Amino acid sequence: MQLQKITSGFVFLAFTTLTLIAKANVCGSDLQNFNPTSSNLSFVTVQSSSTLEPCLLNMGVFFDYAINTLTYTKDLSNRSLEGSRVKNALLSGQLSFGMGISSRWDIGLNLPFLLSQELKDNIGTTAFAQAGLNEVRMNTKYRFYGEPSEGMAFVFSLGQNTIQNNPFSGRDSSPNAILELAADTRWSGGLSGAINIGYKRRLPGTPIPNQPFVPMKDQYLLSVAGGYLFGDLKSKLILELYSALPASKVDQNTNKNLNSSEINLGLKRRVSRRSTFHVGVGSKIFDSFGAPDFRVYTGMTWFLGPVCNLDLDKKNPKYPYVEADAEPGVGDPLAPIQQPYDPIPFDEFEEPLPEPFESSSSPDRPDVYRFDVGVLFETDSAVVTKNYARLLSRMAKKFVDQGFRNIVIAGHTDSVGADEYNKALSQRRADSVKRVLGRSGHLSREQISLVTTEAWGEAQPIDTNDTPDGRKKNRRVDIQVWK
């Protein structure tokens, strides 16, 4: 299938690129506290439960400047260095790539690297000998529970140290593995929050000779984040705290605390539907591994795609199934429906989803979402507008997350024109809405089979057809969701 080919090509291209990047030599902290996520959803370094839309590719580049990050010894050749102040600064970068595989699953690749280093006092300091790649880190996320405003996901990461003579990984170290539980929620008023709890399994190599440090052991990970949305400015203020705690005691020859903790304050601004700008500052909570006295970062992310065609997988029930475009109905002169799949994900900067026009907690009555055809469709056509195609795609995800028994899409018109024409027009508009839901990438073939359409034409008015305002109310599409 094309999706599998794209995934394989994505991984192959990433690792081919790695062979062209010089490896850093010797080592800094190895903890790499500042790690932007590969999906760029919700926060910066803290994972949310959200995943990238199917076939959507996210690319990001970040740069950060950190003061006093490198680790130093507390004694050297029987000379006490306690109280010494190591003055150093690192300019680092990170490339990230993420891609959605299904509506609940995505994968990613992060490539952190050192650009430059400044040492004003290198006594007892373990520093880099040259710039280059620090680590190759791949990850995958699966969202096992989700509602429109909250969710939970498992995140698994696998990272391989690429730094030569790294005393914190050891010689010939194996990849380290991280398993995390990510949970997030959004409240009214623009507030959101997330928490990540995880365990990092480290498989260190043999100690590096003549080094005062020893390879690091397993760690517990804990991160929390909060955000406040300024909707009119399309910006989000983000506060993040992340920490790594040793799972067992490690006797390192340093005054730095092994309980590494850092706090960051950042601003995320949406530049366009496909790009986001980031800027922020950070600092250590106390003197600890990988946590700088001061950090400033900036970055850009872009959404690309869809990079594959979901319609090629019609016969596979795991992927969305979309019916072929129908021929125009009798008496309906409108052009065939053309509505491409739009994978750009919902985020906090979007307008909130509409509430049901009629809501019911009874299984015998549906929730009814009502749409005015004057804004739902292009002028004098049955083609859903781009903005509403995007909204319907988000609603499809909401329907799947909340669960449904069946969905009925009913098209209605006013009484102007021939009854045969009005009925054909209402049918095509209902079919168009169904097609957009199907192409959202959220509904499986079986779920789409539970979506039916009805064409009522002018037969079920909700207001008089004798006034312009009444006719406007009668021209509508109702989506009935039976739970």
Q: State whether 69 and 49 are in the same domain.
A: yes
As a whole number of angstroms, the distance between CA 268 and CA 276 comes to 7
Say if residue 161 is in the same domain as residue 126.
yes
Q: Given 251, 283, 304, which residue is the final one in a domain?
A: 304
Least-confidence region, from 273-277, 285-289, 340-344, 359-363:
340-344
CATH assignment of the domain containing 475: 3.30.1330.60
- pLDDT at 168 exceeding the cut of 50: yes
pTM above the 0.95 mark? no
In a shared domain, residues 25 and 86: yes
Residues 319, 300 share a domain: no
Q: Is residue 399 part of a domain?
A: yes
**Shared-domain flag, residues 402 and 437:** yes
- Regarding whether 206 and 323 lie in a shared domain, the answer is no
Judged against a pLDDT cut of 70, whether residue 318 lies above it is answered with no
Q: Are residues 381 and 289 in the same domain?
A: no
Domain assignment of residue 310, yes or no: no
Q: How many domains does the chain have?
A: 2
Is residue 257 located within the same domain as residue 346? Answer: no
The segment with the largest mean pLDDT, out of 17-21, 286-290, 398-402, is: 398-402
Task: Identify which of 307, 294, 233 has the alpha carbon closest to the alpha carbon of residue 263.
Answer: 294
* Band of residue 324 on the pLDDT scale cut at 50, 70, 90: very low
103 falls within a domain: yes
Both 152 and 248 in one domain: the answer is: yes
Q: What CATH number has the domain bearing residue 66?
A: 2.40.160.40
User: In which domain, by residue range, is 11 found?
Assistant: 2-304
- Tens digit of each residue's pLDDT (9 = 90 or more) over 77-97: 555 544 455 688 899 999 999
Say if 309 falls within a structural domain: no
List the single range of 99-113, 216-230, 343-357, 442-456 with lowest mean pLDDT. Answer: 343-357
Answer yes or no: do 323 and 268 share one domain: no
- Within this chain, do residues 149 and 297 fall inside the same structural domain, yes or no? yes
Is residue 214 assigned to a domain?
yes
Out of 304, 328, 345, a domain closes at: 304
- Token pair of 62, please? 């970040």
What's the confidence (pLDDT) of residue 182? 96
**Residue 99, pLDDT above cutoff 90:** yes
In a domain, 291, yes or no: yes
Query: Which residue among 304, 327, 362 closes a domain?
Result: 304
pLDDT, tens digit, 9 for 90 and up, residues 222-271: 999 999 988 778 899 999 998 888 888 877 877 777 788 899 999 999 99
What is the mean predicted confidence (pLDDT) over 133-148? 89
SS (H, E, C) the chain: CHHHHHHHHHHHHHHHHHCCCCECEECCCCCCCCCCCCCCCCCCCCCCCCCCCECCEEEEEEEEEEECCCCECCEECCEECCCCCCCEEEEEEEEEEEEEEECCEEEEEEEEEEEEEEECCCCCECCEEECEECEEEEEEEEEEEEECCEEEEEEEEEEEECCECCCCCCECCCCEEEEEEEEEEECCCCEEEEEEEEEEECCCCECCCCCCCCCCCCEEEEEEEEEEEEHHHCEEEEEEEEEEEECCCCCCCCCCECCEEEEEEEEEEEEECCEEEEEEEEEECCCECCCCCEEEEEEEEEEECCCCCHHHHCCCCCCCCCCCCCCCCCCCCCCCCCCCCCCCCCCCCCCCCCCCCECCCCCCCCEEEEEEHHHHECCCCCCECHHHHHHHHHHHHHHHHHCCCEEEEEEECCCCCCHHHHHHHHHHHHHHHHHHHHCCCCCCHHHHCCEEEEEEECCCCCCCCCCHHHHHHHCEEEEEEEC
Is the domain of 22 the same as that of 155? yes
